[in-house]
Amino acid sequence: MTTTRLLTIGYEAARFDQVRMALLEAGTRLLIDVRAVATSRRPGFSKRLLAGGLAEAGIGYLHLQPLGTPKDGRDAVRRGDVEAMHRIFLAHVSGDRSQAALAEARALAAETRACLLCFERDPTHCHRSLVAGMIADATGLAVHHLHAAIDLPEPKPKRPRRTPP
C-alpha cells in the first residue's frame, strides 16, 4: 500500500489563510492550479496573489491552464449538471495541449508532494477529481481530497418565548 499521496483542494467558502493552513498541515510542497481562468473574486485566489501567499509559506505554485474546464463545462456545473461537465472535460483533456500539461502534472506529482487546486469544495463536483484520477492511474499515487476549515455562519439567536399574562 502506498503512503505517497496526490492531494486536491477546492477553495469555495474558504479564506486564503484557511486553504494555506490545510496545505501546510498536509505537507504540500507544490500547488498545481487546474483552473482554466486563474482569477477569482475571493481575496487571495487570483494567480499572482495566490502564488505570492503560497511562496511566503514555502509552497510552490504552477498554473496549468490547459487542465482547466472549458467554459461549457463550468456552465454545466453552475446548472448542477456534473455529468455534462465530466463529458465536456474528458473531450477537452484529450487534446494535445491538455495531454502535455497532464504529463507535466504527472511528473511533478511523482517527484514532490503536490496538490491540485480548483474552486468547488466538493471534489465530486469538480474536474480536479478527474485530473487526480488520471495522474493516480499513471503513477500509482493515492488521492486524498483536502477540505479547508471554513467559517460557519453564526446561528441566529432564539427569541425568548413570551408567556401569556
- The confidence score (pLDDT) of residue 151 equals 79
- The confidence score (pLDDT) of residue 1 equals 37
Domain annotation for the chain: domains and CATH numbers: 5-145 (3.40.1010)
Chunked in runs of 10, what are the mean pLDDT values of the chain (165 residues)? 79 96 98 97 96 98 98 95 97 98 98 97 96 97 95 67 65
Rounded to two decimals, the pTM is: 0.89
- The confidence score (pLDDT) of residue 159 equals 66
Sign of the C-alpha dihedral computed for residues 82, 24, 111 and 140 taken in this order: negative
Residue 144: how many other CB atoms lie within 10 Å:
13
Instruction: Read off the amino acid at residue 47.
Output: K
